[in-house]
């Protein structure tokens, strides 16, 4: 298995697995603060349409966890955890 980091926690994933699938398998269901509205950030639709599963990569990119293939070495966090310049919030 390969691994990526979620808030400095190592998350293992298998071939072809998405970021959301790996996080769910690791017991992580809450993806942090939502970008808008009272709903919690979670995996909801599973096809990238609702964007409830948005996460931020260390380089500042916003990704839809449910459709983004997991890659070894990724560093991910809730959307509001890191500034866009990659520095800690």
Amino acid 42: pLDDT: 78
Q: What pLDDT, on the 0 to 100 scale, is given for residue 22?
A: 97
Alpha helices (H) in the chain, listed in sequence order:
19-25
Q: Does 89 have pLDDT greater than 70?
A: no
d(CA 18, CA 82): 21
Task: For residues 71 and 51, give the distance between their C-alpha atoms in angstroms, rounded to a whole number.
Answer: 20
Instruction: Name residue, tokens 């096809």.
Output: 47
Q: H or E element: which one contains 63?
A: strand 62-64
Rg (CA), the chain: 12
Instruction: Say what the pTM is.
Output: 0.81
């Amino acid at each position: 298995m390969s691994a990526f980091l979620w808030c400095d926690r190592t998350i293992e994933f298998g071939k072809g697995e998405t970021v959301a699938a790996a996080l769910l398998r690791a017991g992580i269901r809450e993806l942090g603060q939502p970008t808008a509205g009272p709903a919690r950030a979670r995996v909801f639709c599973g096809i990238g349409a609702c964007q409830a599963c948005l996460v931020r990569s260390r380089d500042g990119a916003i990704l839809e966890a449910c459709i983004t293939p997991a890659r070894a070495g990724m560093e991910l966090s809730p959307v509001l955890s890191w500034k866009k310049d990659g520095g800690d919030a």
